[in-house]
Amino acid sequence: MAAFAIKSLVSQITAKHSPSDRASSRIEIKSALISVKRRCGSKIPVLAASIHSESDQTIEALKKKNGPLSSTHLSNSVSSGSCLRVAYQGVRGAYSESAAQKAYPNCEAVPCEQFDTAFESVERWLVDRAVLPIENSLGGSIHRNYDLLLRHRLHIVGEVKYAVRHCLLANHGVKIEDLKRVLSHPQALAQCENTLTKLGLVREAVDDTAGAAKHVALQKLEDTGAVASSAAASIYGLNILAEDIQDDSDNVTRFLILAREPIIPGTDRPFKTSIVFSLEEGPGVLFKALAVFALRRINLTKIESRPLRKQPLRASDDGNNGLPKYFDYLFYVDFEASMADENAQNALRHLKEFATFLRVLGSYPVHTSMV
């Protein structure tokens, strides 16, 4: 019944405008399809296997070099399905790797250089899933991944909340008083600002926390430390000079699990649904759009606005010589309801009356536990 109801909803929603081209007509609510998790040892569909034949050798070579996957490898590789492969951004020892292993304990975690590469690796059947950060309790939203959610055709099938515990790492024999500078991701440095200020260390930003640890180890630096995980210390042979150096103990990163196909939403446990939409300009339009959830007692857990990339500014129509007047925005919203719930379906039907574009990014189980 749930699948029938969702397909029925899809057939009733018609289009208005696409965010990239207002002349075209489109409101998209993808029908839910069953996503069958491949077990270790199962065979991948022929379509994927026929793309390229050197994927296993490519990934194994990368892992031996501890090097992340880059976009140049995507055209040469594809998953062979011997075990669930999960992409993450960074190098071995990254918090994202730990989140991927928390989501799928028996997975083969595949490092990627950039967020874009992780999205593309799922689309091209190189991996089965991607686990990517979307927001941090201290640092806020990861805007790049919000933009990529709309650019790519993947679906959110789950979420993972991971408690981040930063450590100050250095090569063996190096003491805290020997350090002059520290390397890490900008958010990690910001999250440890008080501790690093007290130590009088110069902060230098790099692409990721584990990458900072790897650099300090490979270069055998004696005046430089890294802010990273205890796992990174173990992998790269560094000494932990201090643990839990973050300013706030409640430092949690929320990750999204992405797949090529959506899952069938249920009502047997708490679900969350993520959508993105755009609106015509006008007094109270955003209020009306959000009210469709309040009227049905649906709780919103997140709202994020991002300017439209291809049409960021709308021309003034008040006779002001046609000069740009205001931004056009996309609104990303998470709400606590399953798309199998008729109440949620009715809310989106109502939202359609105000939206110029609407897309369901995923309806997935709520994750409550943390490590």
Task: Return the active site residues.
Answer: 253, 255
Residue 73: DSSP 8-state: G
* Residue found by looking up tokens 């997140």 in the block: 302
DSSP per position, 240-300: EEEE---S-S--EEEEEEEESS-----SSS-EEEEEEEEE---TTHHHHHHHHHHTTTPPE
Is there a contact between 301 and 194 (Cβ–Cβ < 8 Å)? no
Please, is 322 exposed, middle or buried when counting C-beta atoms within 10 Å of its C-beta (0-12, 13-18, 19+)? exposed
Which residues have CB under 8 Å from 283's CB, separation 6+? none
Phi, psi of 346 (to 5 degrees): -65, -35
Please, is 291 exposed, middle or buried when counting C-beta atoms within 10 Å of its C-beta (0-12, 13-18, 19+)? middle
* Residue found by looking up tokens 């339009």 in the block: 285
Is there a contact between 242 and 227 (Cβ–Cβ < 8 Å)? no
